[in-house]
């Protein structure tokens, strides 16, 4: 991953490309985890992803989470500690 691109930007670009979401909200909630495992100064370690896409129409929750995590494999390898995924909002 290009170090100059913020992780949140990379997540957004990849999810848009892969799933063509109807709605997509990415929140960096890292500061809420200060003092916890995986926290890093400057954020970009803990995220909430709210996504709605027709791509997920015939998938169960586990399949959706696996497909998103697979697309974000590089972000996991580069310091993301936690992602909470919400598909209904």
**Mind listing the pLDDT tens digit for each residue in 3-13?**
567 999 999 99
Pairing of strands 23-28, 82-86: unpaired
The structure's pTM equals: 0.86
Q: Give the span between the Cα atoms of 16 and 4, in whole angstroms.
A: 19
8 A C-beta contact, residue 87 and residue 62 = no
According to the model, what pLDDT value does residue 88 have? 81
- pLDDT above 90 covers a percentage of the chain that reads 73
Delineate the domains of the chain, giving CATH numbers in brackets.
7-86 (3.30.300.90)
Output 44 or 50, whichever has higher pLDDT.
50
Give the span between the Cα atoms of 42 and 30, in whole angstroms: 8
Chain CA centroid to CA 77, Å? 13
State yes or no: pLDDT of 36 exceeds 90: no
Distance CA 34, CA 21 (A): 30
């Amino acid at each position: 991953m290009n170090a100059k691109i913020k992780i949140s930007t990379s997540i957004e670009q990849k999810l848009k490309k892969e799933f063509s979401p109807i709605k997509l909200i990415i929140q960096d909630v890292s500061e809420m985890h200060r003092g916890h495992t995986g926290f890093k100064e400057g954020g970009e370690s803990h995220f909430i992803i709210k996504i709605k896409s027709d791509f997920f129409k015939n998938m169960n929750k586990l399949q959706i989470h696996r497909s998103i995590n697979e697309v974000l494999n590089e972000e996991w390898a580069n310091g993301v500690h936690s992602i909470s995924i919400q598909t209904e909002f």
